[in-house]
Amino acid sequence: MRKLWDIHGGIHPPENKEQSLKLAITQVPLPEVLVLPLNQHIGAPALPIVEPGDKVLKGQIIAEPNGFVSAAVHAPSSGTIAAIEDHAIPHPSGLNAPCIMIHPDSEERWCELQANTNYQTLAPEQVLSIIRNAGITGMGGAGFPSSVKLQPRQSISTLIINATECEPYITADDRLIRERAEEIIIGIDILAHILGRPEQVLIGIEDNKPEAYKALESALTSSAFATTIEVVDFPTKYPSGGEKQLIQILTGQEVPSGKLPAELGIVCQNIGTTYAIYKAVYKGEPLISRITTVTGNSCTKAGNYETLIGTPVSHLLANAGFDEFLCQRLIMGGPMMGYTLDDLSAPVIKSTNCLLAADIEESPPSNIAQACIRCGHCSQACPANLLPQQLYWYAKAKDYDKLAAHNLADCIECGACSYVCPSEIPLVQYYRAAKGEIRLIEQENVIADRARQRFEHHQERLIKAEEERNAKRAARKKAAELAKLAADNLTADNKGNTQTDEGLSGDTDIIQAALARVSAAKASPEQELKRLQRALSATENRLHKAQQKLEQGKAEDSTYGTLEASLEQSRLRHQEAVNNLSAYTSKNEASDTDNDSDKATSDQDQVALDAAAIAIKNAQQKAAQQADMSVLEKLQNQCDGLLKRLDKARNRLAQAESDKDENLEAFSNALTKLEGKLVDAEAKLAEAEAEAEAEAEASDAESFDSKSLEAKPLNKEQSH
């Protein structure tokens, strides 16, 4: 007889399990639509790899894991992807979330499956990969991805299979054990293989499940694993199914606050999860269905149903004889840790172990919470040995530091404190809200820390770059000082005032050598002329290409302005090349008039010089014309240019309309912009004309007044 330990606190609520244990597991008919949330687990939501209209097969992956802590989603039936959009999901918040909708085709055509009956020959990493690709998550709790939980960093000495199912009404695991105990034993052996064959494997089960206990014992008797697996039953008490509580009951070890069971060499897995791992590895089937308890006085056919993941709750309830008129409250999960489900279109997900359709007797209306009377019943019932009363006050005050100091994170939200509270205070709701706010604060702190680190690294880079620039400046300054000093010493040597300085001789030699290299590398006049001619030819080519691109472009395109700017830049560079060649040629002609070598200029060079002279002349004429223009003339030229561009844009738009060009909207937008520019230019022109006219009238008036004064006769006083 194995020694057992007791846990602190706990309660004994009415079990109400018999009403769902009367029938064997029943298969639910295929619904009209399957709704598959992308996030049915703790961690990052899965990423869809299908699109609306795609045909999928049963068991085909339709969303892949997005990160280490994530799980894949598979098609529960063959059919067509109807949509990928937000839809109601089972969650306490009642909010919608992204889901993949599938319309089944009733053919139930499977994708290709890979069974691994000889899993013992596979490496643990290969088996973990199969589990991850099958989308297996915890099916008795929060839905943590199983492949992550089965990769502990420490060596594991104890594997515990949780068959407790301590919450009232829920019997999914009980019925599963009764009917499929042999498959569960194989699943346990797969887990042991992954974990390196732990020293002991324990199946923990409460003593209120005698038939399930006998089924496990019978399966072990006929199994090859009987020597390594032990079934342990213990007295029924809620919440003995909590992971840390079950570990304490079976081993006597308490998991410290903030620690994980793996740090004690222990791993726990739920019975439903173990069966899903068996199907994934041994048969090659991904997680596309689960056993769900449907119970409550509002259901005439209470029982356990094998339900496809994504089946709408309304469809499942209809098969269980649900009477919506009698239902006082629909709970997903058990009455202690479950939450109210308001939208019946929400689907069954991987962690949906129960639907409780309670009538008014099972779920009477809640009374108004009264003031805390400090009775201490909550502290006595808490299985985690916390102080619920203090946590309640700190949660109301939003004192998150005190909540952390009182180990709020260790609360398993079992509801035992709320169950025994005479004031009917919803303590668990306060704890859940506080935990959610703490998670948000932690996420914001992480984001702020990352931003601060990026800013600090940026500042460090700026400081380092500034230091490097200062060092280069100092080096250049020192080199300049040494060069000046060396030049002074060289001048003194030429005058006969030789002053040897052994400390500067090396620097002087280096500087002289550098000057010699620069002098040697200096191009000859012929080389310089050819270089300028090549530069002129290159700029002409660039200018020609820029003009071609601008002519081929469309005024309404977003890149048209860039092409105009590029053309203008090419013109400036061409003009600069022309000026450089002209200046160099003029200089050489003035200094080398008597040099016969100038007469041997090649025809190609002469053509380039003529082209340069023409370009210079045209540029000078254009500049002179621009300089002689008045403001009115410049504005008038601008309006004329815009009118020409507007005509071209209209022609392009008409051509695009006749050709049914896909860029018709872009042509229209460009035309609208040009019309706006023309309106602005014409307004500026009109304003300038008005100002010029006003100035002319003022000038005429001034001239008239001066003439009037000259012609007016003087009076007597003025004549004197």
User: What length is written for the chain?
Assistant: 720
- Is 107 in the same domain as 216? yes
- Is 341 in the same domain as 383? no
Task: Report the run of H or E that residue 645 belongs to, with start and end.
Answer: helix 631-659
Write down the H helix ranges in 283-414: 313-319, 377-381, 388-397, 400-405
Domain contains 603: no
Segments forming the whole domain that contains residue 265: 18-358
- Is 345 in the same domain as 388? no
CB 162 within 8 A of CB 269: yes
Residue bearing the bigger pLDDT, 711 or 179? 179
Q: Is 323 helix (H, G, I), strand (E, B) or coil?
A: coil
- This model's pTM is above 0.75: no
Domain contains 7: no
Domain contains 622: no
Domain contains 507: no
Give per-residue pLDDT as tens, 173-189: 999 999 999 999 999 99
pLDDT of residue 514: 54
Domain contains 705: no
Tokens for 255, please give them. 């998991």
- Is 389 in the same domain as 283? no
Domain contains 57: yes
Cα–Cα distance between 140 and 157 in angstroms, integer?
23
Q: Which residues of 473-496 are buried (b: 16+ CB within 10 A; e: fewer)?
A: eeeeeeeeebbeebeebeeeeeee
Check residue 67 and give left, alpha or beta (phi > 0: left; psi -120 to 50: alpha): left
Give yes or no for a cis peptide into 239 (omega within 30° of 0): yes
pLDDT of residue 520: 58
CB 359 within 8 A of CB 297: yes
Under DSSP, the state recorded for 395 is H
Q: Longest Cα pair distance anywhere in the chain, in angstroms? A: 149
Cα–Cα distance between 212 and 180 in angstroms, integer?
10
Q: What residue has token string 């506080």? A: 434
Which of 474, 495, 516 marks a domain boundary? 495
Q: Is 225 helix (H, G, I), strand (E, B) or coil?
A: coil
682 burial type by CB count under 10 A (0-12 exposed, 13-18 middle, 19+ buried) = middle
Give per-residue pLDDT as tens, 583-596: 777 776 665 554 44
Give per-residue pLDDT as tens, 144-162: 899 999 998 889 999 999 9
Tokens for 124, please give them. 């643990």
Question: Which pairing describes strands 96-104 and 79-88: parallel, antiparallel, or unpaired?
Answer: antiparallel
Tokens for 248, please give them. 């304490």
Q: What residue has token string 């319309």? A: 103
CA dihedral in degrees (20, 244, 259, 269; nearest 10)?
A: -50
Count the domains in the chain.
4
Long-range contacts of 427-433 (CB under 8 A, 24+ apart): 427/378, 427/388, 427/391, 427/392, 430/391, 430/392, 430/395, 430/396, 431/391, 431/395, 432/92, 433/395
Query: Quick one: average pLDDT of 267-285?
Result: 95
Q: In what order do the strands lie in the sheet with 229-234?
A: 229-234, 200-206, 158-162, 266-270
Domain contains 508: no
Give per-residue pLDDT as tens, 385-440: 999 999 999 999 999 999 999 999 999 999 999 999 999 999 999 999 999 899 88
Cα–Cα distance between 209 and 212 in angstroms, integer?
5
Cα–Cα distance between 25 and 690 in angstroms, integer?
94
CB 392 within 8 A of CB 427: yes
Q: Out of 209-223, 246-260, 404-418, 535-549, pick the least confident.
A: 535-549
Q: What percent of the chain has pLDDT over 90?
A: 57
Among 342-356, 614-628, 664-678, the range with the most confident prediction by mean pLDDT is 342-356
- Is 144 in the same domain as 290? yes
- Is 174 in the same domain as 266? yes
Cα–Cα distance between 602 and 188 in angstroms, integer?
95
Question: Which pairing describes strands 289-295 and 303-308: parallel, antiparallel, or unpaired?
Answer: antiparallel
pLDDT of residue 38: 94
Neighbours of 663 (CB within 10 A): 14
- Is 345 in the same domain as 379? no
**Residue 206 belongs to domain with CATH number:** 3.40.50.11540
CB 171 within 8 A of CB 353: no
Give per-residue pLDDT as tens, 38-90: 998 888 999 999 999 999 999 999 999 998 899 999 999 999 999 999 999 99
Cα–Cα distance between 636 and 630 in angstroms, integer?
10
- Is 201 in the same domain as 312? yes
Structure confidence at residue 207 as a pLDDT band (50, 70, 90): very high
Which of 495, 516, 542 marks a domain boundary? 495
Under DSSP, the state recorded for 715 is -
- Is 125 in the same domain as 248? yes
Q: What percent of the chain has pLDDT over 70?
A: 84
Task: Report the run of H or E that residue 455 belongs to, with start and end.
Answer: helix 427-494
Q: Out of 14-23, 54-63, 226-235, 278-287, pick the least confident.
A: 226-235
- Is 235 in the same domain as 114? yes
- Is 77 in the same domain as 113? yes
Which of 309, 332, 358 marks a domain boundary? 358
Structure confidence at residue 509 as a pLDDT band (50, 70, 90): low
Mean pLDDT of the chain: 84
* Helices 172-194 & 210-221 angle (0-180, nearest 10): 40
Write down the H helix ranges in 135-221: 146-149, 172-194, 210-221
Cα–Cα distance between 130 and 284 in angstroms, integer?
8
Check residue 595 and give left, alpha or beta (phi > 0: left; psi -120 to 50: alpha): beta
Backbone angles phi, psi at 362, to 5 degrees: -75, -30
CB 337 within 8 A of CB 165: no
Give per-residue pLDDT as tens, 185-202: 999 999 999 999 999 999
Residue bearing the bigger pLDDT, 361 or 590? 361
Beta bridge pairs of residue 73: 63
Domain contains 369: no
- Is 211 in the same domain as 335? yes
Under DSSP, the state recorded for 103 is E
CB 373 within 8 A of CB 456: no
Give per-residue pLDDT as tens, 444-476: 998 999 999 999 999 999 999 999 999 999 988
Structure confidence at residue 602 as a pLDDT band (50, 70, 90): very low
